Amino acid sequence: MKSVTRGACAKSLLSNPNMACIIPALLVHSEEEYTTCLRAIQHHVDRIHIDIADGTLVPNATWAEPDRIGKKMHIAIDLHLMVNDPLSVVTRWKEIDAVDRFIVHAEIPGNVQQVLTDLASFGKHLVLALNPDTLLETVTPSFPLVSGVLFMGVHPGFQGQEFISSVVDKIAAFKAMGTHHTILVDGHVDETTMPKLLAAGATEFCIGSAIFHRDTSPEERLKTLTTQLNRLTTPPSA
């Protein structure tokens, strides 16, 4: 694997699923909180992951206003749509050029394949998110419609939960299928879980609490995690 650099999570990563990287995940409840988080890491990354929840699919609601977020944004954005009706949400974001990837949950009500097909018309990359209890075989028909699969390491909606270890085996099973999809993980990714997830086949690590909710600064936490990922992905010298 290639080592991590600033830019490893840039748009070019979408065509290179073998490059490992860290994507800061912002789950916020106000514009002030969003601005504080963004300022802490914006000069060190080229992509962020914004959690959008409206209290329908998960028991939480977040702040995310496209007009405020998209203004003068020079960092690529993943929208993690933790909502029952992704189409109604992304319509508000379709003119925001920085958004280049939609993450949709397999657990939404209705026909997820039809929703993914409809979302494809927006010209963004699509990722299918799976909750810890969702079986791979139940969503296999959706895989041809997406470029990546995101595995939740916790039940979605709140940061800081305990990691569900069975997710590691699920990722390994998906990787063993010979997939060419980008494999993402979101939920309790930190120094302890990242090595296991990387070994299982994950390459993109969406990290929230381990960056923004520790005693040290988000910048220092991002540096620590990136250093670890570099060490894990750099082949030993001959």
Q: What does the pLDDT look like over 163-201, one tens digit per residue?
A: 999 999 999 999 999 999 999 999 999 999 999 999 999
pTM of the model: 0.92
pLDDT of residue 156: 87
pLDDT at 19: 81
Count Cβ neighbours within 10 Å for each residue of 54-88 and write b for 16 or more, e otherwise. Answer: beebbebebbbebeebbeebebbbbbbbbbbebbe
Position 73 scores a pLDDT of 86
First CA to last CA across the chain, in angstroms?
A: 16
* Residue predicted with more confidence, 59 or 72: 59
Helix, strand or coil, per DSSP, at residue 132: coil
Q: Over 50: is that where the pLDDT of 43 sits?
A: yes
Which whole number is the average pLDDT over 63-75?
A: 88
pLDDT at residue 164, as a whole number: 96
pLDDT band at 10 (very low <50, low <70, confident <90, very high): very low
Integer Cα distance of 96 and 227 in angstroms: 32
Domains and CATH numbers, the chain: 11-231 (3.20.20.70)
List Cβ neighbours of 195 (8 Å cut-off, separation of 6 or more): 228, 232
Reported confidence tier of residue 91, pLDDT bands at 50, 70, 90: very high
**pLDDT tops 60 at residue 27:** yes
Residues 125-152: what's their mean pLDDT? 96
When pLDDT is cut at 50, 70 and 90, the band that residue 77 belongs to is very high
User: Mind listing the pLDDT tens digit for each residue in 105-138?
Assistant: 999 999 999 999 999 999 999 999 999 999 999 9
Contacts of residue 95, defined as CB under 8 A and 6 or more positions apart, other chains included, come to 66, 70
- Would you place residue 74 in the very low, low, confident or very high pLDDT band (cuts 50, 70, 90)? confident
